[in-house]
Amino acid sequence: SKPNPFRALEAHSFYDGHWEGDMPHGAGTLSAPNSAYHGAFDKGKVDGKGTLQTSRLYGSMDFSAGAAKGAAVIETSAGEVYAGTVTGNKLSTPGSLALSSTQQPAATSGGPQPMAIPSVTDEMEWVWASAAVPGTGQARIRYANGDLYVGPVVDYRPHGPEGCYRFRDGTTYTGAFAEGAINGTGIYRFESGNA
């Protein structure tokens, strides 16, 4: 393959890098109106390590035959950071997800008060997540203050009939959660052993 200056591939798309015949091959940069990819190409397809940037995300990942596959670190324009694996252009589990502070729910007046949900300094590890509903599934969340939650989540917050929340002082609560708050039947166990 040989280097070649910018060349238009399609309307509004340009490639700068190595070519083999009339196809991108080797290291190069593909620029389109709302995205750019810099990395390896194989016979016209992204293949190997590269970085992808769109108006909504920036990621460093592996590609195979044009699809994201393998290890990835992705940051969205909303501030979420995902570190894990990608299979067929979809996030795979388990992975670690740090959410932006803009996804913190405000406390509500009356009714259950939301617990802290993951912020940009917290870690969320997915055990299983619904591809149809982001932020939903089973998760382990380690909060920056040392608290730990294991159980079902909806919209990135504890939600479901049986979750376990361990406070940093050793107190645990096992039971129901709704919209990020303890809500319903459950058991508190204090560090002293009292329930």
Q: How do residues 160-180 score in pLDDT, each as one tens digit?
A: 989 889 888 889 999 999 988
Predicted local distance difference test score (pLDDT) of residue 104: 39
> Which neighbouring-strand residues pair with 62?
49
Residue 178, pLDDT score: 93
Q: What is the largest CA-CA distance in the chain?
A: 75
The pair phi, psi for residue 5, each rounded to 5°, is -65, 170
In our burial notation (b when 16+ CB lie closer than 10 A, e otherwise), range 65-96 reads eeebbeebebbeeeebbbebbbeeeebbbebb
Q: pLDDT at position 98, please?
A: 64
Burial class (CB in 10 A: 0-12, 13-18, 19+), 151: buried
> CA 61 to CA 65: how far, in whole Å?
13
Q: Angle CA(142)–CA(158)–CA(139) in degrees, nearest 5?
A: 55
Q: Which residues contact 138 (CB under 8 A, 6 or more apart)?
A: 126, 127, 128, 129, 151, 152, 153
Nearest to 166 by CA among 183, 179, 149: 149
Residue 71: which pLDDT band, with cuts at 50, 70 and 90?
A: confident
Regarding pTM above 0.85, the answer is no
Task: Name the range with the highest mean pLDDT among 16-30, 70-84, 103-117, 125-139.
Answer: 16-30
Among 126, 125, 117, residue whose Cα is nearest residue 145: 117
